[in-house]
């Protein structure tokens, strides 16, 4: 009898052990369950971001549409502008700049080279004056100046500003716009304002239209906005005073405040110079122009 019971126990023992192991040592759940439980919280931000991006895209589309319409309107106004009036305003604007204390005290300037085909405010007299300014050692109220002018590098809104010492340093590009060669007549690289160890004091800027809050409407290429953004960042990194941004404008190019749409990529100006005089806009302009 005892032998029979012992035999039964030996037969049942493996089965009991297997059941005991299954009950008391369950296999842990796969780690992937805890990973899956975190999926939803990470999906939601992407959905919200997509919705925000859609709204932003719509706003940008509206801004670009308004800019296109305004560009067309201003181009027509410039095209119909009487040539004699244009010449008078060119002369008045340049004289106002050259007589201004904030211009005379500037040492390093970046200025555009006007193109008559684009109907930009003429800068030929102004640039010649800068290049001929005598040294301050003669007691003149003006100081010796460095002049940097733009050179378009590509079709991706990249532009550089190179130092010139004479108008003879300029050559016509493929669009018949004067700009400096990357090297001087001796084959040496020209000084790039972005690589200069000294800050620029003043930028003389072109544009198609401006409003009284300082918004500037360019021609759509983004060259000046891209360059100014880079230079302002460099000035900040160097702990320099930001340059004064002054735009030259015909009377027909000045719009009412808020008339020009603006995006995060657009750089406003500090002041306007029109035939009627200087229009300071920012606190920096009011302080440095002493108006």
pLDDT (0 to 100) of residue 141: 54
Which tens digits make up the pLDDT trace of 204-232?
999 999 999 999 999 999 999 999 999 99
Which tens digits make up the pLDDT trace of 154-209?
989 999 999 999 999 999 988 888 999 989 989 999 999 999 999 999 999 999 99
Beta partners for 189?
183
The alpha carbons of the chain give a radius of gyration, in whole angstroms, of 34
Beta partners for 279?
272
Contact 198, 185 (CB under 8 A): no
Contact 97, 273 (CB under 8 A): yes
pLDDT (0 to 100) of residue 174: 82
pLDDT (0 to 100) of residue 5: 44
| Cα–Cα separations (whole angstroms), residue 86 to 96, 122, 247, 249 | 15, 9, 17, 11
> Does residue 192 sit in helix, strand or coil?
strand
Contact 285, 268 (CB under 8 A): no
Contact 169, 178 (CB under 8 A): no
pLDDT confidence of 62, banded at 50, 70, 90? confident
Contact 215, 247 (CB under 8 A): no
**Cα 102 to Cα 99: distance, rounded to the nearest angstrom:** 9
Residue 51 reports pLDDT greater than 70: no
Contact 266, 216 (CB under 8 A): yes
What does pTM read for this prediction? Answer: 0.78
Which is more confident, 2 or 90? 90
pLDDT (0 to 100) of residue 234: 98
């Amino acid at each position: 009898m005892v032998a029979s019971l012992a035999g039964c126990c030996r037969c049942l023992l493996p089965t009991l052990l297997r059941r005991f192991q299954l009950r008391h040592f369950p296999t842990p759940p796969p780690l992937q369950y805890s990973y899956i439980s975190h999926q939803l919280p990470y999906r939601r931000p992407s959905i919200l971001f997509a919705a925000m991006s859609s709204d932003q895209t719509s706003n940008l589309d509206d801004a670009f549409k308004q800019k296109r319409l305004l560009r067309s309107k201003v181009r027509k106004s410039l095209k119909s502008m009487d040539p004699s009036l244009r010449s008078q305003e060119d002369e008045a604007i340049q004289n106002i700049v050259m007589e201004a204390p904030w211009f005379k005290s500037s040492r390093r300037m970046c200025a555009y080279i006007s193109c008559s085909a684009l109907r930009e405010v003429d800068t030929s007299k102004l640039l010649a004056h800068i290049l001929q300014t005598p040294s301050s050692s003669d007691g003149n109220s003006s100081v010796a100046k460095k002049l940097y002018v733009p050179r378009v590098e590509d079709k991706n809104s990249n532009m550089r500003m190179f130092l010139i010492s004479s108008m003879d340093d300029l050559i016509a590009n493929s669009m018949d716009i004067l700009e400096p060669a990357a090297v001087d007549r001796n084959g040496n690289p020209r000084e790039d304002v972005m690589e200069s160890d000294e800050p620029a004091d003043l930028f003389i800027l072109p544009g198609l239209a401006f409003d009284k809050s300082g918004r500037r409407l360019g021609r759509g290429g983004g060259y000046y906005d891209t360059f100014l953004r880079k230079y302002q960042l460099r000035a900040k990194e160097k702990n320099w005073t930001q340059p004064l941004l002054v735009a030259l404008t015909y009377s027909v190019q000045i719009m009412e405040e808020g008339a020009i749409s603006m995006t995060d990529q657009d750089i406003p100006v500090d002041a306007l110079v029109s035939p009627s005089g200087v229009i300071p806009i920012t606190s920096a302009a009011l302080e440095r122009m002493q108006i």
